[in-house]
Chain A
């Protein structure tokens, strides 16, 4: 991007909000399922009724600890819930219960791998538990606004990074890494359309070589990787243009408008100034003992980095491929099953990252919904390995498996796609082609080597693509050379 080229450095820190996948809310027994009719999942506690009190959901704590352990952070033996006070109609109590001075997770780190193969460690300052607010609905209600408090009290883990990120791409790679991690840990469904995973980006710029941080702006509520990248790039350009034009960046909160691809300042009313944080007297300090932590640690799954290292080592994959294949627990499990079934890890990796991913993207499907299961794909790869079908024919077989839901052997049998490996049959086809093209044959024999490809094509055409390519090559060379 031009900013770096022009002698500017970008500094980014992300605050990621991951909605924890608990069944009930963080301080009440209400369900957290998405999509219920407005206020169907709001209890008296969620509505902030007089006299009601919060009771902490143990499962939310377990999930926060899980995350802390996964990023090598220290889990605070004692953390404190605080009230963040501000008035807004979708904030029923007039304060949000969050953690302020003493968060449950402090100081960890995650490694990211960029597309160019660069590795980088990003510091995580803290992660804390808090409750989400409700939603204000402004459409279709005339001059009134509606309040839906189904989301109020949904547990969130706010993950705050150090200002370690230096470009929008790094920010996206980091956000994707956290996204991968929370899904591995099964603490967040990662659904960005539903708002289960979103972030605020703190962005500043400074002249290359300057160590003092520039004035930052916070871009709120980015709910897709694409928006994160575009919003940051836009904001960086805006700040650079501003400073180069003799202006100054003002610290403020901005919103990204994806339709116009620009950020704009929030109205001052949307921005509360003094939250008057203080420890919530309704909740005792959260005390987490070593046994609890040990118990959570024992239940941790193999994490993406460890899995990727293992794939690279045991399967001979490149770091980048191993990273792609471990992006989600489901994908990694699928790949591992295919690799084991086919006995050819690299072939499996190529197919999972190639055809399979392409079809999934085309049909907008998650790996779990793939019409071709891991066992079926492995079965097809075996047919490539044992020479029943060629790699080229395999693509047709795969497409048929995808659309018809059959296994490879059924498709091969039905369509007569079995590869021709009978030397005699291939020789006959070659002789026919030679007889039909005496001119080309003469030219070839006169030294026009390039015509070899023409003969391969003709033989494959004559065998409807079923002839074993290796055998075709071998026999052609022999027969074309002359008696």
Chain B
């Protein structure tokens, strides 16, 4: 069977047409996970039993003529989403014993849509990383070249879908953690507008930036899954009450007359040549289809990385205070007293990158430094916001590369945090401004996938999906699979 060559949407149609059952589909993917996962390390937990039970339930639903386009379609969740009764590790030793007592809203909604849970995917520890090398469970390998990283922090989800051991997976994007791994593994990585998808049950890294999204084979898959998980949730005060459009129905909208803005600042030094060429060629192709292209300057955008590395650590230093060895998670052996309990539980439970960010964040919020760092960063953040707002007064979408280079070798940047942080130089802006953005495969550089990033104004998910879909109807980059996994 070549079920894995079908997109999630195609599997959904096959199930609806009764060409195969969800149990068959699920068995197929479970078998592929079993074969490929040991080398890729994409999954932290495989929930085979649960998957088959889900599949049976989905088949029953389909047999009754019920269910929707995702009923019976398998999915993998990033291990940042709480799942009842299943280890939810967040890629950390701190939570290596944490079995969540409840479901995240995203999990609950995809469950309600009838999706089948294959398991939980590996990730950078607490979503802090751009290469999936900070995970307590070890690095994830890029199926396109197992010597390379898949990007991060949603690296496990990216590797799982790229290797087609899962048809689609969820991810979270705080500074590029869906789009960058999407670009590095040849996937459609979609980050919605901040507030579009509930954060309830998603373990917080930086609350004002975190947003759940999808790693998918196609814009159509992203539209279906996003549509199922989006929408207001009373349990998340930052979730937005605006109605969710039928994203799948909006896919066919033409891109003729689309006004594209090219972000000048994204094409400077640091952009690898072949990557830049592939992205430029893609934008030219849109022009050929009748879009207008205009180069724009967003002068404050180059400040994204330093701004982000103040705001995100500040929030994370506070968000991660709850991991104190008292109620859940890692607790050190035989604490002498309270301070010893805190010091050792946290010292042992957190990895180096997480500690680095907690310390940075604690520093920038400290008395005497708050104004110079945190407050200043918030001001720059609003300037970046203004840059985007001015740009969207002129154009419909902004385009540029997703990442400065294709996938790099495992270990290449682990000794230099700054070099690692620069991986997110093109993606962070959309998080700071809360904008929706998508990365779509647009070529290869040195045999490795390159991503084209499309950023839209707030709540322009439909437009971004239509642009991505138009591109995918004209090209087949998204259909290419890494050798050995086809």
Interface size on A, residues (CB 8 A): 29
- In the complex where A55-B234, A278-B374, A284-B238 touch, is A94 in contact with B321 (Cβ < 8 A)? yes
| Chain A, range 11-47, C-beta contacts under 8 Å to B | 44, 47
Across the interface, do B238 and A282 meet the contact criterion of CB distance under 8 Å? Answer: yes
The yes or no answer to A198 lying at the interface (CB within 8 A) is: no
Of the residues B200, B206, B237, B327, contact of A284 by C-beta under 8 Å: B237
Of the residues A52, A83, A94, A147, contact of B200 by C-beta under 8 Å: A52
- Of A47, A51, A52, chain B has the most CB atoms within 10 Å of the CB of A51
Of the residues B82, B208, B322, contact of A281 by C-beta under 8 Å: B208
Of the residues A53, A89, A277, A281, contact of B235 by C-beta under 8 Å: A53
Across the interface, do A281 and B207 meet the contact criterion of CB distance under 8 Å? Answer: yes
- What residues of chain B lie closer than 8 Å to A284, measured between beta carbons? 237-238
- What residues of chain A lie closer than 8 Å to B327, measured between beta carbons? 47-49, 92
Across the interface, do A44 and B102 meet the contact criterion of CB distance under 8 Å? Answer: yes
Across the interface, do B318 and A55 meet the contact criterion of CB distance under 8 Å? Answer: no
What residue of chain B has the Cβ atom nearest to residue A85's Cβ? B318
| CB of A136, distance to nearest CB on chain B (Å) | 10
The yes or no answer to A373 lying at the interface (CB within 8 A) is: no
- What residues of chain B lie closer than 8 Å to A274, measured between beta carbons? 366-367
Q: Which bracket fits the contact residues of B?
A: 35 or more
- What residues of chain B lie closer than 8 Å to A92, measured between beta carbons? 322, 326-327
Across the interface, do A53 and B322 meet the contact criterion of CB distance under 8 Å? Answer: no
- What residues of chain A lie closer than 8 Å to B82, measured between beta carbons? 50-51
Please measure, in the bound complex, the distance between the C-alpha atom of A52 and the C-alpha atom of B203, giving whole angstroms.
8
- What residues of chain B lie closer than 8 Å to A55, measured between beta carbons? 234-237
The yes or no answer to A87 lying at the interface (CB within 8 A) is: yes
What residue of chain B has the Cβ atom nearest to residue A47's Cβ? B327
| CB of B97, distance to nearest CB on chain A (Å) | 12
| Chain A, range 259-301, C-beta contacts under 8 Å to B | 269, 274, 276-278, 281-284
Across the interface, do B321 and A85 meet the contact criterion of CB distance under 8 Å? Answer: yes
The yes or no answer to B421 lying at the interface (CB within 8 A) is: no
Please measure, in the bound complex, the distance between the C-alpha atom of A44 and the C-alpha atom of B203, giving whole angstroms.
13
Across the interface, do B237 and A50 meet the contact criterion of CB distance under 8 Å? Answer: no
Across the interface, do B338 and A89 meet the contact criterion of CB distance under 8 Å? Answer: yes
The yes or no answer to A95 lying at the interface (CB within 8 A) is: yes
Please measure, in the bound complex, the distance between the C-alpha atom of A53 and the C-alpha atom of B199, giving whole angstroms.
8
Of the residues A44, A51, A89, A269, contact of B324 by C-beta under 8 Å: A89
- In the complex where A87-B321, A284-B237 touch, is A50 in contact with B328 (Cβ < 8 A)? yes
Across the interface, do A278 and B237 meet the contact criterion of CB distance under 8 Å? Answer: no
- In the complex where A55-B234, A281-B208, A281-B315 touch, is A147 in contact with B322 (Cβ < 8 A)? no
The yes or no answer to A93 lying at the interface (CB within 8 A) is: yes
The yes or no answer to A56 lying at the interface (CB within 8 A) is: yes
| CB of B475, distance to nearest CB on chain A (Å) | 38
Q: Which 7 A-B pairs have the closest CB atoms?
A: A94-B321, A281-B208, A276-B365, A281-B207, A51-B201, A48-B322, A50-B203
Q: A94-B318, A95-B318 are in contact. List 4 more A-B contacts (CB 8 A).
A: A49-B327, A51-B199, A55-B234, A281-B238
Residue contacts A-B, CB under 8 angstroms, 7 given: A44-B102, A50-B82, A50-B95, A94-B321, A94-B322, A274-B367, A283-B237
Taking beta carbons and an 8 Å cutoff, which residues of A are in contact with B?
A: 44, 47-56, 83, 85, 87, 89, 92-95, 147, 269, 274, 276-278, 281-284
